């Protein structure tokens, strides 16, 4: 658990509510063989069984999309919540937690955390600091070398100003101005506290996972990375958190495709079981 300020007592309460998943007992050895034959799809089945605490797991009946903007992916069967983001990391975090609570209270049994494609320098600085790498390693190469160097410089400047806050994740989010990441961090923490699985989509949601893990390491068990984006910052997060993406799509701008693949694959696998 990362240190938090005296004003963060509600955050400490949220952290205390986060539990780990409980692997279920499989019916027989033949079940294990079937799961192994399904490859990575079998891993998804096992993960859903763990977060639900039952075997066989149930297909999610009400998937809620929690997003930063109204133009993110959704389908007609999904609930949909747009996050409120304020210019204060702790307030944004609690707003995200409240959004997750509303989704779960409305009947959601799984969440998709949808994020925009744009990556602010502060987000990249956050990833670089929390993965102990440098600005260049976290910044995607561009055809225009000058533009890339300017962007790396911006990320490096943000890292320099924020490095002193590494011991306090909320203060670190404030220092890099990553208020959208703070809101998504709140979603991830509250989902873990409410025992609700979350599908991560793109690099920003992965950055939020990195921050949430820093606040409560137990929360990691409640998330699954639906894909490996093309951005190098995403690769850094996946490696640090030991998250194994369901597919290697390298998508940055096409929101919602990877989570849909996860859910459709789960449905097909459960039919086989």
Report the pLDDT value the prediction gives residue 255, as an integer from 0 to 100.
67
pLDDT band with cut points at 50, 70 and 90 for residue 248: confident
For residues 81 and 191, give the distance between their C-alpha atoms in angstroms, rounded to a whole number.
Answer: 14
Q: Is 57 left (phi over 0), alpha (psi -120 to 50) or beta?
A: beta
Three-state DSSP class for 20? coil
What contacts 165, CB < 8 A, 6 or more positions away? Answer: 171, 172, 174, 175
| Closest by CA position to 90, among listed 202, 201, 6, 204 | 6
Report the pLDDT value the prediction gives residue 7, as an integer from 0 to 100.
46
Question: Does residue 45 lie within any of the structural domains?
Answer: no
pLDDT at 273 over 60: yes
Question: Does residue 189 lie within any of the structural domains?
Answer: yes
pTM: 0.91
How confident is the model over 68-113, as pLDDT tens digits?
Answer: 765 555 554 456 777 878 889 999 999 999 999 999 999 999 999 9
| Closest by CA position to 119, among listed 200, 205, 225 | 205
Q: Which helix (H) or strand (E) holds 51?
A: helix 40-52
Question: Does residue 250 lie within any of the structural domains?
Answer: yes
Question: Does residue 216 lie within any of the structural domains?
Answer: yes
| Closest by CA position to 125, among listed 185, 78, 181 | 181
The tally of domains found in the chain comes to 1
Q: What is the largest CA-CA distance in the chain?
A: 60
Report the pLDDT value the prediction gives residue 256, as an integer from 0 to 100.
76
How confident is the model over 185-237, as pLDDT tens digits?
Answer: 999 999 999 999 999 988 999 999 999 999 999 999 999 999 999 899 999 99
Domain of 241, in residue numbers: 61-256
Question: Does residue 184 lie within any of the structural domains?
Answer: yes
For residues 224 and 209, give the distance between their C-alpha atoms in angstroms, rounded to a whole number.
Answer: 10
How confident is the model over 128-186, as pLDDT tens digits?
Answer: 999 999 999 999 987 689 999 999 999 999 999 999 999 999 999 999 999 999 999 99
Radius of gyration of the chain measured on its C-alpha atoms: 18
Question: Does residue 261 lie within any of the structural domains?
Answer: no
Question: Does residue 77 lie within any of the structural domains?
Answer: yes
pLDDT at 6 over 80: no
The DSSP code sequence of 178-241 is -HHHHHHHHHHHHHHHTT--EEE-SHHHHHHHHHHHHH-GGGGGGEEE-B--SSHHHHHHHHHH
pLDDT band with cut points at 50, 70 and 90 for residue 117: low
Tokens linked to 177: 């101005």
What contacts 129, CB < 8 A, 6 or more positions away? Answer: 159, 162, 163, 166, 172, 176
Residue 40 has a CB neighbour count (10 Å cut-off) of 11
Tokens linked to 138: 């976290």
Question: Does residue 2 lie within any of the structural domains?
Answer: no
CATH number at residue 246: 3.40.50.10210
Phi/psi for 217 (5° steps) reads: -65, -25
Higher pLDDT, 37 or 70: 37
In angstroms, how far is CA 86 from the centroid of its own chain?
A: 19
């Amino acid at each position: 658990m990362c240190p938090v300020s005296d004003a963060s007592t509600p955050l400490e309460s949220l952290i205390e509510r986060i539990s780990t998943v409980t692997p279920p007992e499989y019916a027989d050895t033949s079940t294990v063989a079937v799961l192994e034959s399904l490859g990575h799809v079998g891993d998804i089945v096992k993960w859903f069984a763990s977060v639900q605490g039952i075997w066989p797991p149930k297909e999610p009946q009400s998937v809620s999309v929690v997003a930063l903007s109204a133009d993110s992916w959704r389908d007609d069967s999904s609930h949909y919540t747009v996050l409120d983001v304020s210019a204060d990391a702790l307030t944004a975090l609690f707003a995200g937690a409240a959004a997750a609570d509303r989704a779960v209270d409305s009947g959601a049994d799984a969440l998709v955390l949808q994020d925009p494609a744009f990556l602010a320098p502060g987000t990249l600085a956050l990833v670089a600091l929390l993965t102990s790498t440098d600005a260049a390693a976290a910044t995607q190469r561009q055809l225009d070398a000058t533009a890339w160097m300017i962007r790396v410089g911006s990320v490096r400047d943000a890292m320099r100003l924020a490095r002193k806050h590494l011991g306090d994740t909320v203060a670190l989010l404030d220092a890099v101005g990553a208020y959208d990441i703070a809101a998504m961090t709140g979603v991830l923490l509250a989902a873990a506290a409410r025992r609700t699985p979350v599908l991560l989509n793109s690099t920003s949601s992965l950055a939020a996972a990195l921050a949430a893990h820093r606040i409560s390491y137990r929360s990691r068990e409640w998330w699954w990375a639906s894909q490996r984006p093309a951005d190098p910052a995403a690769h850094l997060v996946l490696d640090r958190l030991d998250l194994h993406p369901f597919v290697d799509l390298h998508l940055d701008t096409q929101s919602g495709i990877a989570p849909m693949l996860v859910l459709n694959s789960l449905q097909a696998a459960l039919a086989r079981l």
